[in-house]
């Protein structure tokens, strides 16, 4: 059977990391946590789930932190998840069945998951009403961001971009392929307080503008920045 590991980056996530790790721990062989300077109990909580926790100095670059987590990973497959996200148990079982398919044995491949960004703000573009997933309970709806979060570990591939980091392009440039199994990952970052959400958005805007200066001809940073401005109204 193929092995599956989780890689994540954290900072001061003690209020939500337990729920995240509870959702994945029964299904994975390894958890790698890159902590970028927590002042709360985030590292201790992660270690209680037998995670391998490594300290890392934050450099205003999400891709660099993601790539640091990949350096410590040892499993055949990697699932990227954040502390304010959870996976449904049935979907983790689907992932386990998916990565064990013989057709993927000798292929470099990544899978796009459907990141459900939960929010009660129905004015956001492409907002949908909540369905029968229990992870939706108490929240009116969500909007989806397709994102490559599951992939076969390979030293040739790496994340790119300071914010809204991406590994899909690297997979394809190294002869791999991307498939879309329609498996959701449940994200609650937009359910936090207005001040926390605003600070996060402002930080993403800053890093997005810096990325455009760094790669002015690449369309992705402009696209991601446009989505932020659109949601800000």
pLDDT in tens, 104-156: 988 999 999 999 999 999 988 899 999 999 999 999 999 999 999 999 999 99
The pLDDT of 155-179, averaged and rounded, is 94
Lowest mean pLDDT among 6-15, 38-47, 49-58, 163-172: 163-172
On the question of pLDDT at 34 being above 90, the answer is yes
User: CA angle at residue 184 from 83 to 150, to 5 degrees?
Assistant: 70
Positive or negative CA dihedral for 35, 39, 45, 47? positive
Is the CB of residue 185 less than 8 Å from the CB of residue 117? no
Report whether CATH 3.90.550.10 matches the domain 4-232. yes
Average pLDDT over residues 79-99: 97
Q: Is the predicted pLDDT of residue 211 greater than 80, yes or no? A: no
Domain chopping of the chain, boundaries: 4-232
HEC assignment per residue over 155-170: CCCCCECCCCCECHHH
Q: Which of 172, 184, 186, 4 is nearest to 78 (CA)?
A: 4
Give me the torsion for CA of 19, 167, 60, 188, rounded to 10°: -30
Instruction: Tell me which residue has tokens 């994102």.
Output: 147
Is 210 a residue whose pLDDT tops 80?
A: no
**Residue 222 and residue 233: Cα distance in Å, rounded?**
16
Say what percent of the chain tops pLDDT 70: 84
What's the pLDDT at 218? 75
Q: Which residues contact 131 (CB under 8 A, 6 or more apart)?
A: none
Structure confidence at residue 76 as a pLDDT band (50, 70, 90): very high
* 88 has a pLDDT exceeding 80: yes
């Amino acid at each position: 059977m193929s092995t599956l590991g989780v890689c994540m980056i954290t900072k001061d996530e003690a209020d939500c990391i337990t729920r995240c790790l509870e959702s994945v721990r029964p299904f994975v062989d390894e958890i790698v946590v890159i902590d970028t300077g927590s002042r709360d109990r985030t590292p201790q909580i992660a270690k209680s789930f037998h995670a391998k926790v490594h300290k890392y100095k934050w450099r205003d670059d999400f891709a660099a932190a993601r790539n640091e987590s990949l350096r410590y990973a040892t499993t055949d497959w990697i699932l990227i998840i954040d502390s304010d996200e959870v996976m449904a148990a049935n979907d983790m079982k689907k992932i386990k069945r998916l990565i064990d398919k013989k057709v993927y044995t000798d292929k470099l491949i990544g899978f796009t998951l459907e990141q459900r960004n939960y929010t009660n703000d129905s004015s956001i573009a492409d907002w949908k009403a909540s369905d029968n997933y229990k992870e939706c309970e108490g929240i009116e709806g969500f909007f989806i961001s397709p994102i490559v979060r599951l992939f076969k570990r390979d030293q040739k591939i790496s994340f790119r971009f300071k914010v809204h980091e991406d590994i899909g392009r690297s997979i394809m440039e190294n002869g791999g392929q991307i498939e879309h199994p329609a498996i959701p990952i449940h994200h609650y970052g937009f359910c936090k307080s207005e001040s926390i959400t605003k600070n996060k958005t402002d930080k993403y805007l800053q890093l997005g503008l810096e990325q455009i200066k760094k790669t002015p001809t690449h369309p992705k940073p402009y696209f991601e920045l446009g989505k932020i401005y659109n949601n800000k109204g």
